[in-house]
Structure 1
Amino acid sequence: MTTPAPASRHRPALALVGAAVAALVLAVAGLVFSGAAEASAVLDPGAVVRWGVPLVTVVADGAAAVTIGALAMCALVLPYAGRGDERRRPRVAVDGAAWSLAARAAAVAAVVWTLASVVRIVLSYARTSGRGLGEPTFGAELAQFVTDIPVGRAYLVATLMTAVLATVCVAVSTPTAAALAGVLALAAVIPIALTGHAAGAEGHNLAVSAMWLHIGAISVWAGGLAVLCLVARRLGTDRGPAVRRFSTLAGWSFALVGISGLVNGGVRVGSLEDLVTTDYGLLLLAKTVMFVVLGLIGWVHRRATVPAATDRPGAFWRLAAGEVVLMGAVIGVSVALGSSAPPVPQDPVSRPSPTQEITGYPAPPEPSALAWFTEWRPDVLFGLLALAGIGVYLAWVYRLRRRGDHWSLPRTASWVVGLVLFAWVTSGGPSVYGVVMFSAHMIQHMLLAMVVPIFLVVGAPITLAVRALPARDDGSRGPREWLLATVHSRWARFFAHPGTAAVNFAGSMIVFYYSPLFELALSTHVGHIVMVVHFTAAGYMFAGALIGVDPGPSRPRYPMRLLLLFATMAFHAFFGVSVMQATTLFAGDHFGRLGLPWGVDALADQEAGGAIAWGIGELPTLALAVAVAIAWARDEDRVTRRTDRQADRDDDAALAEYNAQLARMAERDGAAR
């Protein structure tokens, strides 16, 4: 066994102390530089509150990063010994001690995150209201703040979610539990992202998505590296695999942090002049320089220290310790940035039009054939998802080609077309006009649920991934293991079952449009994201049950597939007709009060939307029916060829046995007579 003495000698865990000190020092320096903690001329809550809010935010953000990073390390990076579960026992010898320590670190950090969040609520209200902590009515006012004021409610929801997370983390004992806890941790960041800069500005949705990506990615990166340093002395034989895997994870995080940071900066800084002449711009420049330095350190890691992490770990741990300290400084500067006013005003428009007041955006130009392709409102979350999906798929195809394997060009083209169409539907004309016109929304919905999934299913991404991704044998779960575990899970088998998929595909439309969920998706960014994910996934599972080739639940015979398709589409047509005949507006408080400058009869537009829901489904239905028929014919041909080859090998033994059986039956009948 390779001794962990080098890690012990360099004591990389001490870098966590340096990171905490750097975060606090840089936060204080940034606040002094920007003047964000200076006393207010009116209703000043006191120095304890002014300085307490950003400093407790440093603690909360640092604890959040360690929590998310530790859970990511347990779910994706660290070898797992699989104690107590024979099915998860590794096929090679692993140490496994680092995994247990990382899980405990996640639990402790989640508790600290929760406590810091509670303190932040109290201090944030004091700063917002200008009330001192000792005021007689402070408690009652604080209760009203967390129940009636949007910012206070967001802080309360985030705190409750972190409290639940802390409870869950105590019970984390498997990679699956770590992954589920990690999803909850990332969800707990959403309320905080909703309360940041641009919470009421025109770029709210873009800023919220970018901020969530930014916080999540930097938490995985910084927190993961901090945990790697923390468990360094217990890595033992797991050191090499853990370092290599974390290097890949850090590379993805670096890209996400850079892109989301660029978007955030664009929303808050109006020009290059603001970047160099304002305190906010200078702090942003300082953070950018640190980010570039971190990127250079990461490049050195990948080129020099990661390959030698097993044999000569000293250089890696020294560089990693410096990187952790610098990351702590970045968190400190980020907190100072969050406490400072950006150059571009982030307050709601003072006299918005009805359209802008309801949707958060000015009214788009009157729709035309050209406008559907020229009007864009980028969604950074779905745009990056589409871009990453195309890039990763092509990388997998290239990996197969390099080792001499074949992958279908039509399947590749289908996947790329599907994701390009997905990006246009979520960021182009259908997205722009979908929030102001029911008919446009229905076009967006039908494309997401009925057109995009067909292209994606034909691309067979799971089959490609299983062939291209390397397998692990040390008890940890990489992308291939997580993909197969998800596909073969009970939940996936249930929702991807042909009957369930058909009911979900058709029935969820009724539930969605005939309930408050529709208006929630129109009025909230989180609701819109859930809508896009749900209907795309529902369409994908339904199309997969009919024409998919990827691993999954057993599919019905081809006649049943056609019957299932036509029955579902008949229900879909019924839905379209019901919308056409409706005499009241769906989401009437939304579509009925927009006051679009180019004028829209909302009820007539809704009738057109029902016709679209009915008519636009015909072409995808026909395409699916043709695809099922072709697959049926090909399956029959394969069965025939297989039978013919078997007959050639055994001189048609099956037919001879059948004829012999008929002869024996005839003999028995003759004897009976």
Structure 2
Amino acid sequence: MEKTAGSTETSISSMRKVRSTWPLYLLFITVAGLVGATISFGLLSESLIALGIPDPGPVTTFGLPFFRAVGWMLAALSMGSFMFSAFYISPRLPGGDNDQLVNAKLTVDGHLAARTGAVAALCMGLVALLMIPLVLSDVSGTPFVETLEPASWAVALEQVATAQAWGVVALIAFPVGVAGLFLRSWLSQPMLALGAVMMIVPLGMEGHAATGGDHDYGTNSYLWHLIFMMVWIGGLMALIAHGRRLGPDLGTGLRRYSTVALFSIVVMAVSGLVNAAIRVEWSDWFSTTYGSILVAKTVGIVILGFMGWVHRILTIPRIDDRPSLFIRFAIVEVVVMAAVTGVAITMGRTPPPPPRDPNLSTMAIELGFDLYEQPTLTNVFTMWRFDVMFGAIAVLLTVGYLYGLWRVRRAGKQWKTSHTVWWLVGTGTLLATTSSGLGMNMGASYSMHMVVHMLLSMVVPLFLALGAPLSLLMAAYEPGAPGRPGVHDWVKAFTAAPLLRFLTHPAVNTVQFLFFFYILYLIVPFYNLMISEHAGHLSMNWVFLISGYLYFWELVGKDPLPNRRPAAIRLAWLTVSMPFHLFAGVYLMQMGTILGEEFYMNLGLPWELDLREDQRLGGGIGWASGSFPLGLVFFMLFMEWRRDDRISEIRYDQKVESGDDEDFEEYNRMLSRANSGEDLHSEYYNSEFRKE
């Protein structure tokens, strides 16, 4: 008896079993660790001679690259799992109502993905703790057992930058892991994904990319490369796990991941080329060990790019009827990814070729480049050094906004030209601030630092908030199908999030904006620490932008908020807080201590700089430049208040004209009785008595 096609598919489906993915995770992690450890062990002699340190022993020689690769894979798994539970599959929405996304709970598959991300983060924290003595053993040539003593840990965390980075990783990883075990709301998953991203950031701040000349290019490009490598690898591991447990909507998750993967590989290719160009001469690619590793990594990424293209052509169109084809192919792909990761981590233990200029100045070592002329009002706009982090973000924000605008126009919808103008002015200002002579001189003097601070915290965020990017996203993308939220629904849920409601409360918002300003400049050692490291510059600029955007979003932003106060209340809060904004500038002008004195003195600038006068100038810039955007916001809020008041008057007049205002009608009746000679006082008291 012949079986029908339908019965065949049913029998095949019934033969599929739910399978655990942890054995595969162990396989991926082991492959990455063994590849990295084997290559590093083979290059041991060359590395020790170049670094001039004794052999720390086989435990460190093999264990450090092994566990570094393990840590990378765990970070990828955590990041990918949380992104999966947040965006690749849908949460539990009773009745399929996407408007309830802000209150949605995870499905069983989302819960399993979140638990995987949490366990991976906790394991990453344990690896980070193990790496602290391993790093100390490696840089000092001390056997690993001796570095396990508490005194050695103190030395590592105080003097070894790489050990400090791993310590920060542990401080981030453990809270992310613990929170991931207990939080089961959909709204918590994007925050956990962001926490997983932050977990890997400290590792992008150390190594060859963070030292020597052009380290601003090296660190920024390395961060782009590392983060999107983790997103790429982790997302595919999460999809494999979902397919093996026979989770629903695998095709939807794969298609969403495919878009992220395409963007990731483009970012990795560009950032990898930038990083390689500043570290290795083209002639060294095939003549040095470092170059050979770079070639092997590049070949691996090209192979992975080809495999991704095969996914888009063959497996994605057939994912609904043959999910096993995707899973088998994806497992092989992740094995290759793990091997490439193992190759990549060996670059951290392999000395790069000698720098192009072996006689770097102190300025080039500290800033990443040399400055040759004193900045003036005009020449800062003729200097140019593209900022790989914020300059690239400015370009991406511009392109993304214009793409959203194109989608809106294509759908036949209207969009205010003023919003587009504000946004483009904002991204253009961000690009000019960070990539012109303003950004180049930010680390060289306090006054230029204050100029950039004011622009990044008070000018750029104001322009961007007036561009209404979230409203554009909701207009550019239609709501998802019932029970399957998409970009429109994610953004709408974000604008209604309780955390956002708390952060945009006028009191909280004002305090957070002032806090970062005062904490940076009033605690002198903190400022000195932040300006002495590239990681400090990056952190400050990010804080300036995010804090400023949140502040102006609540005050005058055009995007929706959970509970936006009336213009009169916002105006009152601004009026109360303005003296605190302006006082900081006055305080800095009169401050006796010179901020960053030792750092600025050691730069060796080719022009004379009076640090005390420069600090007074910086305080004046903070006072004066803060007045302009706050004055503009004051004017905008005042006009909005007048407009709201006028609208209220019009509505009241319309209500009176329609006869719906009982108080007004009662007043007219009282006037009528007064004209007829009735006692108004007794009538008034009688009416009040009836109300009581």
Residue identity in the other structure for 1:487: T
C-alpha displacement at 1:567, in angstroms?
Answer: 4.5
Q: CA–CA distance in 1 between the matches of 2:518 and 2:248?
A: 55
C-alpha displacement at 1:455, in angstroms?
Answer: 1.3
1:216-365 equivalent positions in 2, closer than 5 A: 216-269=227-280, 271-345=281-355, 352-353=361-362, 355=363, 359=367, 361-365=369-373
1:490 to 498, 507, 522: 498
Are 2:570 and 1:549 aligned? no
| Preserved CA contact (<8 Å) 2:372 2:606 | no
C-alpha displacement at 1:128, in angstroms?
Answer: 2.4
Partner of 2:678: 671
Are 2:605 and 1:596 aligned? yes
Partner of 2:623: 614
Q: CA–CA distance in 2 between the matches of 1:558 and 1:254?
A: 45
Q: CA–CA distance in 1 between the matches of 2:112 and 2:570?
A: 50
1:605 to 610, 614, 624: 614
SS in 1 for 2:111: helix
C-alpha displacement at 1:327, in angstroms?
Answer: 0.9
**Residues 568/90 of structure 1: CA separation in 2 closer, same or farther (3 Å cut):** closer
Structure 1 residues 487-536: Cα deviation after superposition (integer angstroms, max 9, x where no partner): 33333223323344344445643343212343333223333333223333
Range 406-415 or range 106-115, more displaced: 106-115
Identical residues among aligned pairs (%): 32
1:113 to 115, 119, 124: 124
Partner of 2:193: 182
C-alpha displacement at 1:477, in angstroms?
Answer: 6.6
1:529 to 518, 538, 546: 538
Partner of 1:654: 659
| Preserved CA contact (<8 Å) 2:464 2:549 | yes
**Residues 46/236 of structure 1: CA separation in 2 closer, same or farther (3 Å cut):** closer
C-alpha displacement at 1:390, in angstroms?
Answer: 1.6
Range 216-225 or range 563-572, more displaced: 563-572
Range 315-324 or range 656-665, more displaced: 656-665
Partner of 2:528: 519
The structure whose RCO (Cα within 8 Å, separation 6+) is larger is 1
Residue identity in the other structure for 1:282: S
C-alpha displacement at 1:415, in angstroms?
Answer: 0.5
C-alpha displacement at 1:665, in angstroms?
Answer: 0.7
Structure 1 residues 243-287: Cα deviation after superposition (integer angstroms, max 9, x where no partner): 122222222322332233223222321x21112322221221221
Structure 1 residues 457-491: Cα deviation after superposition (integer angstroms, max 9, x where no partner): 22111211222234446767754444344433333
Residue identity in the other structure for 1:153: Q
Residue identity in the other structure for 2:448: A
| Preserved CA contact (<8 Å) 1:377 1:428 | yes
1:63-142 equivalent positions in 2, closer than 5 A: 63-81=74-92, 96-133=107-144, 139=149, 142=152
| Preserved CA contact (<8 Å) 2:74 2:121 | yes
Range 161-170 or range 462-471, more displaced: 161-170
Q: CA–CA distance in 2 between the matches of 1:165 and 1:224?
A: 18
**Residues 548/51 of structure 1: CA separation in 2 closer, same or farther (3 Å cut):** closer
Partner of 1:409: 417
C-alpha displacement at 1:181, in angstroms?
Answer: 3.3
| Preserved CA contact (<8 Å) 2:133 2:156 | no
C-alpha displacement at 1:622, in angstroms?
Answer: 4.3
TM-score, with structure 2 as normaliser: 0.84
C-alpha displacement at 1:556, in angstroms?
Answer: 4.6
SS in 1 for 2:678: helix
**Residues 36/376 of structure 1: CA separation in 2 closer, same or farther (3 Å cut):** farther
Residue identity in the other structure for 2:454: M
Residue identity in the other structure for 1:189: I
**Residues 48/345 of structure 1: CA separation in 2 closer, same or farther (3 Å cut):** farther
**Residues 31/439 of structure 1: CA separation in 2 closer, same or farther (3 Å cut):** closer
Q: CA–CA distance in 1 between the matches of 2:445 and 2:53?
A: 45
C-alpha displacement at 1:71, in angstroms?
Answer: 1.9
Q: CA–CA distance in 2 between the matches of 1:497 and 1:128?
A: 49
**Residues 189/493 of structure 1: CA separation in 2 closer, same or farther (3 Å cut):** same
**Residues 442/654 of structure 1: CA separation in 2 closer, same or farther (3 Å cut):** farther
SS in 1 for 2:389: helix
Structure 1 residues 32-67: Cα deviation after superposition (integer angstroms, max 9, x where no partner): 775668886973233443233222323222222222
Partner of 2:451: 443
2:583 to 563, 569, 574: 574
Q: CA–CA distance in 2 between the matches of 1:480 and 1:141?
A: 54
C-alpha displacement at 1:379, in angstroms?
Answer: 3.3
Q: CA–CA distance in 2 between the matches of 1:672 and 1:468?
A: 65
Q: CA–CA distance in 1 between the matches of 2:595 and 2:106?
A: 59
C-alpha displacement at 1:357, in angstroms?
Answer: 6.3
Partner of 1:194: 205
| Preserved CA contact (<8 Å) 2:38 2:62 | no
C-alpha displacement at 1:418, in angstroms?
Answer: 0.1
Partner of 2:688: none
SS in 1 for 2:211: coil
Range 526-535 or range 13-22, more displaced: 13-22
TM-score, with structure 1 as normaliser: 0.86
Partner of 2:636: 627
C-alpha displacement at 1:127, in angstroms?
Answer: 2.9
Structure 1 residues 58-96: Cα deviation after superposition (integer angstroms, max 9, x where no partner): 32222222222222212221333379xx999889x9994
SS in 2 for 1:44: coil
Q: CA–CA distance in 2 between the matches of 1:419 and 1:7?
A: 55
**Residues 95/283 of structure 1: CA separation in 2 closer, same or farther (3 Å cut):** same
Q: CA–CA distance in 2 between the matches of 1:484 and 1:94?
A: 16
Q: CA–CA distance in 1 between the matches of 2:355 and 2:67?
A: 26
Unaligned runs of 5+ in 2: 1-5, 681-692
Partner of 2:594: 585
SS in 2 for 1:586: coil
**Residues 48/559 of structure 1: CA separation in 2 closer, same or farther (3 Å cut):** closer
Q: CA–CA distance in 1 between the matches of 2:350 and 2:56?
A: 17
Partner of 1:60: 71
Structure 1 residues 91-131: Cα deviation after superposition (integer angstroms, max 9, x where no partner): 9x999443233233324433443444444444433332223
Q: CA RMSD in A?
A: 3.9
Residue identity in the other structure for 1:672: D
Q: CA–CA distance in 2 between the matches of 1:581 and 1:90?
A: 52
C-alpha displacement at 1:308, in angstroms?
Answer: 2.8
Are 2:536 and 1:538 aligned? no
| Preserved CA contact (<8 Å) 2:501 2:563 | no
